[in-house]
Chains A and B, each alone.
Chain A
Amino acid sequence: MSDYQVTHSKSQVFYDVFERKAELKHQTHYCPGCGHGVAHKLVAEAIADMGLQDKTIFVSPVGCSVFAYYYFDTGNVQAAHGRTPAVATGLKRACPESMVVAYQGDGDLAAIGTAEILHAANRGEKISVFFINNAIYGMTGGQMAPTTLVGQTSTTSPFGRWPGNEGYPLHVCELLATLEAPVYIERVALCDNKNTMKARKAVRKALELQKNGAGFTFVEILSPCPTIWKMDPLDARRWIEEKMLPVFPLGVFRDRPAPQMKESPVPHHTFVEALELDTKDGDTHERAQTSKQAGRSLTLKMAGFGGQGVLLLGQIVAEMGMREGLEVSWLPSYGPEMRSGSAHCHVCLAQERIGSPLISHPDVLIAMNEISLRKFAPQVKSGGLILYNRSELPEGFEMPQARVVCVPASDLADQLGMAKVANVIMLGALMAENDLLTEESAMSVVQSTLGAKAKSASVLEMNRKALQAGREFMQKAATPVQN
């Protein structure tokens, strides 16, 4: 009668008994003539024949095939609606040796899950996706699918799909075939025995390719849904041939090895190296309990334009405090504020556990520009210190509660020939005023925050000079302009 004999014995990849419902122990829940049953059989037989049963993880979708895991005697994971390719991605990456089969309907794959299938394909996930296109939502009772044909009626396109409102049927194979990574894309149809045999071959080919680690494989299966289409099974198969094939042409859309690519650029390291863990012992914190630092604290605010290095200056001060064995916190302004060109940070150095890292009234303000001076100076504690990055104060500026020192750090940095070190000059100035921060740590911290740039002797030298310039400026020239 045909070259494809529907066998009535069950594939070994199907369970002996389907435990879903007591009254349906040897029957699937699919309607008579449903394409899902045939597609399941093709997949199950291929898995069995290829000896892949133990390695297979079957990922079932939401749709009529949600209960596929009652039939497939393989590892099973049931995914949320549309997310099968994402779930399959997580599984395959975790178990590269396994065979991951993703099975999806047209609503699942081509509507709610459009992003997931496109990106899984684009990444070349080494999985096999079987896409059951029945041009309708079966499980929920016959609503329009993205693959519903123009003019086809459904419960949500009762007058027939009209492209002016609902758009055109989505051609998934054609879409995926625009991507680089997929190795195999074919559309087949369960419309007659000959085509079912072709579908059988396509399913096997996809699995074979996955077994060999070839790449992303995809088979779209045009599939009858006699119940929703309100046809008998034979008419439904005929409808595929007459109505669906002209819209969804069969054929191979991609069949080629994965593109050549270079070796992964990722180096391999131990976790200690990768996390850059400092595994030296030595609790400097305890040392501080007994040192001259006992009971002391310092809160600072640094503010200026982005690019003036105020955030880095804050980090350097925090790092120095930490090396002194103090508790420290550094809290930056972040996000659009930085993009708009201004930046500030709060730094706390304390003997005790630090409460709020947000400082309302700092001991010290380092203002790198006039806006910051005007904005933050009123917050400085009474008896506090303000270092201002200019040779003189703006006209009419008064801040009686604090001592204001003009340290023209940017000008001094320009004189040194390196505008970038203005923040280090300010650090030098700060250190001249406060002995909580020690000389020893300053250069080594500056060096470590410079990272690769610290390799250059001239850069290091420049920073050393900057530190010195700031300190000397305070010692020599800085006469308090106020107070």
Chain B
Amino acid sequence: MRQLTKGNVAVMKGAVLAGCRAYYGYPITPASEIAEAAALYLPQVGGTFLQAESEVASINMVYGASSAGVRVMTASSGPGLSLMQEGISYLAAAELPCVVVDVVRGGPGLGNIAPEQSDYFAIVKGGGHGCYRNLVVAPASVQEMADLTMLAFELADRYRNPALVLTDGFIGQMMEPLELHPHIAQAPEKSWAVKGTPETRPNAVTSIHLEPDTLEAHVRKLEAKYKEAEKVEARSETYCAEDADVLLVGYGIVSRVLRSTVDQLRERGVRAGLFRPVTLYPFPSRALLQEAKKARVVQVVEMSTGMMVEDVRLAIEGRVPVEFYGRVGGNVPSAEEVREHVMQLVAAPVA
């Protein structure tokens, strides 16, 4: 049955059902409820919860647990994610799966605790050092906080790579119905793990390759995985996009706002549609281009000064004009505000 649940709590319920058995983290608003739920749930089912001394320690504890083959996660918000970037690079380099949740708040610096989408570059484009990628999913509802966290665990194991759940303060803090099936996912057997057993004794987890050729071969191997993921893992969703003249593009909470905007625009006779990336890496470029080609203009909306819009422009390759509208500081654009912006856009004479 559906239960009214907070987004951050849904993350942890999904994680437990995904077979997550260890959580290492450090409190930060607006992500702390994830750690609190982990502290409540995991020990009761024989798992591990530990409040670490910092996000630096958290991500390295995750590295240790993942080395032992455990499904493990951590969560934080912007400042904490900045501290985790070194560790995430090591995890990707050592091909260790894990799930990291970023409940994004206002930045840069201490910023504020209101929602933003300004960690896109840091999370989707890397943030840490070296040629690696994060697999990134972007939930837009409480139900998806659970569902996409579960997917993140699957992707992490499938590609032996960190999978990031990129969300924001609103989705983390809001409550919606959540329906979960009482079934625990089985984590795959990890023959590469280091467990302190005779069978795993030959295994080594490392990220150092001093010889340039050896490192190049390793980086190429990682690259091949990412190429494979790009082929098969991109996910997206559309709403009223079939006949849209104006294609709105947004992810996470903004996609919810844009859904309302689409309805309002259609009521006013503007044929609007929505394209929502569900995975941010791999970015659903092909699907987007297909939808965008049918439109007169693509309007990207983000709670940033323009980050995902770069991926949109790369996907569309200049074939359709791409407009950008962004709010920051913790201001979430309202459906009406975006509607007015689009009304002006369509009223403007075509150059």
Chain A contact residues, CB within 8 Å of chain B = 53-57, 59, 66-67, 69, 73-80, 83, 86-95, 97-100, 115-116, 118-119, 123, 264, 266-282, 284-285, 315, 318-319, 322, 327-332, 334-336, 353-358, 360-361
Return the CB mask of B60-77 against A: 1 if under 8 Å, else 0. Answer: 111111111110100000
Asked if B67 and A356 sit within 8 Å, CB to CB, the answer is no
Asked if A360 and B334 sit within 8 Å, CB to CB, the answer is yes
Return the CB mask of B77-110 against A: 1 if under 8 Å, else 0. Answer: 0000000001100100010000000000000000
Further contacts, 6 of them, CB under 8 A, given A268-B45, A329-B176, A355-B258: A75-B194, A86-B60, A88-B64, A90-B72, A115-B53, A116-B57
Among the 9-residue stretches B166-174, B281-289, B343-351, the one with 4 or more Cβ atoms under 8 Å from chain A is B166-174
Please give me the 6 A-B residue pairs with the lowest Cβ-Cβ distance, nearest first: A98-B196, A90-B64, A355-B260, A94-B68, A355-B259, A86-B60
Chain B minimum-CB-distance residue to A56: B196
Distance (whole angstroms) from the CB of B77 to the closest CB of chain A: 11
Chain B minimum-CB-distance residue to A320: B4
Distance (whole angstroms) from the CB of A101 to the closest CB of chain B: 10
Asked if A329 and B174 sit within 8 Å, CB to CB, the answer is yes
Instruction: Verify if B187 is at the interface (C-beta below 8 Å from A).
Output: no
Instruction: Verify if B48 is at the interface (C-beta below 8 Å from A).
Output: yes
Partner of B90, one of A80, A269, A354, A360: A80
Asked if A357 and B336 sit within 8 Å, CB to CB, the answer is no
Asked if B174 and A115 sit within 8 Å, CB to CB, the answer is no
Count A/B pairs, Cβ under 8 Å.
247
Q: A335 to B77: give the CA distance in the assembly, Å.
A: 14
Distance (whole angstroms) from the CB of A11 to the closest CB of chain B: 15
Instruction: Verify if B43 is at the interface (C-beta below 8 Å from A).
Output: yes
What are 23 A-B contacts defined by CB distance under 8 Å?
A53-B201, A57-B195, A59-B64, A75-B196, A76-B205, A77-B205, A78-B94, A93-B50, A99-B196, A100-B196, A119-B53, A274-B16, A274-B41, A278-B2, A315-B175, A328-B177, A332-B174, A335-B113, A353-B259, A354-B256, A355-B260, A356-B259, A357-B170
Q: A336 to B256: give the CA distance in the assembly, Å.
A: 25
Known: A269-B45, A318-B4. A78 touches B204 (CB 8 A): yes
Chain A neighbourhood of B112, CB < 8 A: 335
Chain A neighbourhood of B53, CB < 8 A: 115-116, 118-119
Asked if A86 and B61 sit within 8 Å, CB to CB, the answer is yes
Chain A neighbourhood of B70, CB < 8 A: 94
Q: A76 to B67: give the CA distance in the assembly, Å.
A: 9
Asked if B44 and A269 sit within 8 Å, CB to CB, the answer is yes
Chain B neighbourhood of A268, CB < 8 A: 44-46
Chain B neighbourhood of A76, CB < 8 A: 194, 203-206
Q: A284 to B179: give the CA distance in the assembly, Å.
A: 12
Chain B minimum-CB-distance residue to A76: B204
Asked if B87 and A80 sit within 8 Å, CB to CB, the answer is yes
Asked if A334 and B169 sit within 8 Å, CB to CB, the answer is yes
Chain B neighbourhood of A319, CB < 8 A: 4
Partner of B64, one of A77, A276, A280: A77
Distance (whole angstroms) from the CB of B60 to the closest CB of chain A: 4
Chain B neighbourhood of A86, CB < 8 A: 52, 56-58, 60-61, 63-64
Among the 9-residue stretches B22-30, B215-223, B225-233, B314-322, the one with 4 or more Cβ atoms under 8 Å from chain A is B22-30
Asked if B196 and A57 sit within 8 Å, CB to CB, the answer is yes
Asked if B44 and A358 sit within 8 Å, CB to CB, the answer is no
Chain A minimum-CB-distance residue to B206: A78
Chain B minimum-CB-distance residue to A54: B198
Partner of B60, one of A116, A269, A282: A116
Instruction: Verify if B184 is at the interface (C-beta below 8 Å from A).
Output: yes
Q: A423 to B41: give the CA distance in the assembly, Å.
A: 31
Distance (whole angstroms) from the CB of A17 to the closest CB of chain B: 14
Distance (whole angstroms) from the CB of A200 to the closest CB of chain B: 23
Q: A20 to B343: give the CA distance in the assembly, Å.
A: 65
Chain A neighbourhood of B290, CB < 8 A: none
Q: A233 to B320: give the CA distance in the assembly, Å.
A: 71
Chain B neighbourhood of A57, CB < 8 A: 68, 194-196
Instruction: Verify if B335 is at the interface (C-beta below 8 Å from A).
Output: yes
Asked if B61 and A87 sit within 8 Å, CB to CB, the answer is yes
Instruction: Verify if B35 is at the interface (C-beta below 8 Å from A).
Output: no
Q: A244 to B114: give the CA distance in the assembly, Å.
A: 53
Distance (whole angstroms) from the CB of A315 to the closest CB of chain B: 7
Partner of A90, one of B24, B29, B195: B24
Distance (whole angstroms) from the CB of B145 to the closest CB of chain A: 13
